[in-house]
């Protein structure tokens, strides 16, 4: 029973005009790479996918991408990224799961899931210090992370998964960092960054928290084993 993480699948089974190989040879055949690397999973393993699941714009056009994820071995816990325009209300996501029998997919949204005695928490996150519109989204995302952490038992260890990084270069999102410290979070995994942006990705400890970039291309499309 193992715990894995990898963000930024950017699946495009339902959006064929959005192939990721336009961003470089590393992305050629990336969906097949993801499928092959996940074949090692066992049915009792858990894979967390923190955002940018699919290029689909609407939930109806995301079905084939979610079926692809559901067909991978093990339990999959997915959260929202900045490109997941298809992501809608919890009710509609639940109805879609039921309609297509997507039993191995679970949505991380204002809640948490357990891996043994560890609480898996997280949110999308957003850009700090942006304009008025960005601030509204940022404040809502900060609230969602707080909801997720509060939903988990206080005495249990918590691992946080975000799509946006908490630290980028010399910029630190102090509000999110404060939440992590307050809740005694020791590990935080994030995606979103690709290519040259990876150079600004912090890896290591800050305020006792270990941060690690887990974008699919950064990991060479091989999920990172946490436990």
Does residue 191 contact residue 52 with C-beta atoms inside 8 Å? yes
Please tell me the CATH superfamily of domain 3-225, with its number. Answer: Metallo-dependent phosphatases (3.60.21.10)
Give me 139's structure tokens. 């404040």
Q: pLDDT at residue 32 above 80? A: yes
Tell me the pLDDT tens digit for each residue of 162-209. Answer: 999 998 888 889 999 999 999 999 999 999 999 878 777 778 888 899
C-alpha pair distances (Å), 47 with each of 107, 128, 172, 222: 12, 28, 27, 11
Tell me the pLDDT tens digit for each residue of 83-119. Answer: 999 999 999 999 999 999 999 999 999 999 999 999 9
Residue 158, strand partner residues: 119
Residue 171, strand partner residues: 168
Tell me the pLDDT tens digit for each residue of 127-155. Answer: 887 788 999 999 999 999 999 999 999 99
Residue 163: the pLDDT is 98
Q: What is the DSSP letter of 62?
A: S
* HEC per residue, 156-173: CCEEEEECCCCEECCEEC
Rounded Cα–Cα distance for residues 66 and 204 (Å): 32
Q: Mean pLDDT, to the nearest integer, of 51-70?
A: 95
Q: Give the predicted TM-score (pTM) of the model.
A: 0.95
Average pLDDT across the chain, whole number: 93
């Amino acid at each position: 029973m193992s715990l894995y993480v990898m963000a930024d699948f950017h699946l495009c089974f339902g959006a064929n005009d959005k192939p990721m190989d336009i961003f470089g040879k590393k992305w050629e055949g990336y969906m097949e790479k993801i499928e092959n690397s996940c074949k090692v999973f066992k049915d009792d393993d858990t894979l967390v996918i923190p955002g940018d699941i699919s290029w689909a714009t609407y939930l109806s056009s995301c079905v084939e991408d979610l079926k692809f994820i559901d067909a991978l071995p093990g339990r999959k816990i997915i959260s929202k990224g900045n490109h997941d325009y298809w992501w809608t209300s919890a009710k509609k996501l639940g109805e879609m799961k039921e309609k297509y029998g997507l039993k191995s997919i679970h949505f991380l949204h204002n809640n948490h899931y357990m891996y043994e005695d560890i609480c898996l928490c997280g949110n999308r996150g957003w850009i700090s210090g942006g304009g008025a519109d960005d601030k509204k989204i940022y404040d809502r995302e900060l609230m969602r992370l707080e909801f997720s952490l509060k939903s988990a038992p206080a005495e249990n260890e918590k691992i946080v998964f975000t799509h946006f990084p908490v630290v980028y270069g010399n910029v630190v999102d102090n509000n999110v960092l404060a939440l992590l410290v307050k809740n005694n979070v020791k590990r935080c995994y994030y995606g979103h960054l690709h290519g040259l942006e990876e150079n600004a990705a912090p890896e290591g400890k800050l305020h006792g928290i270990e941060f690690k970039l887990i974008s699919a291309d950064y990991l060479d499309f091989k999920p990172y084993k946490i436990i």
